[in-house]
A and B are shown apart, each in its own frame.
Chain A
Amino acid sequence: AQSVSQHNHHVILSEAASLELGCNYSYGGTVNLFWYVQYPGQHLQLLLKYFSGDPLVKGIKGFEAEFIKSKFSFNLRKPSVQWSDTAEYFCAVNEGLTGGGNKLTFGTGTQLKVEL
């Protein structure tokens, strides 16, 4: 079975600091990779996704992620965080093509707090 690891459970940053959240997955085949964000009291919103092509993926709100197949990693980055980025961030993966359906396996999440 797939597993997804997010090693940073809580991250506290000052505004304008750079962000990198780690995500590693265990599945050895073709995968689709996602980062979702959940603002307090709200539902999950897709930040970005990777399923093929350029391993550097750009998403909404200035976020980007890099797929490194050899490291089974899909780390999320943002050069300069804002107070409004305070949220919980989830990495998720599902198996590529249509064989695995769209069943997502989620990491445990990283709670990001950005201080003014």
Chain B
Amino acid sequence: NAGVTQTPKFQVLKTGQSMTLQCAQDMNHEYMSWYRQDPGMGLRLIHYSVGAGITDQGEVPNGYNVSRSTTEDFPLRLLSAAPSQTSVYFCASSRIQGAGNTIYFGEGSWLTVV
């Protein structure tokens, strides 16, 4: 059972370049989300999805796009990278019904924009 898998683990981009961070889960979870982690700020929610075809914005959505064409995959797209998007990105998934669901995190993607 792989859990939540993120690729790539490390990436360096030039300002203005685009890229996609991939996220896949094999637990048949309805809920998937992307967070970014910055020093002294904890993790902040970028976008989330409650099922295939349904996405919504989190706390810091600007500069990022998402789509959810399948239950398993939830890619995060940076259309025109900026230095302010240098961060560690975590994908997470969970079941959606019931209270107190455990939310599982991927191993993170370290992105540097120069």
Q: Could you list which residues of chain A lie within 8 angstroms of chain B, going by C-beta atoms? A: 4, 9, 30, 32, 34, 36, 42-46, 49-52, 90, 92, 96-98, 101-109
Interface presence of B1 (CB below 8 A): no
Does B31 lie at the interface of the complex (its beta carbon under 8 Å from any beta carbon of A)?
yes
The reply to whether A50 and B45 form a contact with Cβ atoms under 8 Å apart is no
| B19, CB-defined interface residue at 8 Å | no
Q: How far is the CA of A52 from the CA of B31 in the complex (A)?
A: 21
B109–chain A nearest beta-carbon distance, Å? 10
Chain A positions within 8 Å of B98 at CB level: 98
Do residues A44 and B58 form an inter-chain contact, with CB atoms below 8 A?
no
A109 to B107 alpha-carbon distance, docked (Å): 18
Annotate B58-73 by CB proximity to A: 1 below 8 A, 0 otherwise: 1000000000000000
State which size class the interface on B falls in: 20 to 34
Residues of A within 8 A of B105 (CB): 36, 43-45
Q: Does B96 contact A (CB under 8 A)?
A: yes
B40 at the interface (CB under 8 A from A): yes
Assess whether A44 is in contact with B90, with CB atoms less than 8 Å apart: yes
Contact sample, A vs B, 13 pairs, CB 8 Å cutoff = A44-B90, A44-B105, A46-B103, A51-B100, A92-B43, A102-B96, A102-B101, A102-B103, A103-B33, A106-B43, A106-B44, A108-B41, A109-B40
User: By CB atoms of chain B within 10 A, which of A90, A102, A108 has the most?
Assistant: A102
Known: A43-B107, A102-B33, A102-B94. A49 touches B100 (CB 8 A): yes
Q: Is B53 an interface residue (CB 8 A)?
A: no
A96 to B100, CA, bound (A): 7
CB of A98 within 8 A of CB of B103, answer: no
Residue of A with least CB distance to B102: A46
B105: min CB distance to chain A, Å:
4
B45 near A97 (CB under 8 angstroms)? no
User: Which among B41, B45, B107 is the interface contact of A104 at CB below 8 angstroms?
Assistant: B45
CB pair A103–B45 under 8 Å, yes or no, is yes
Closest to A42 in B: B107
Beta-carbon contact of A49 and B102 below 8 Å? yes
Interface string of B17-44 (1 = CB under 8 A from A): 0000000000000010101000011111
Closest CB in chain A relative to B16 CB, distance in Å = 29
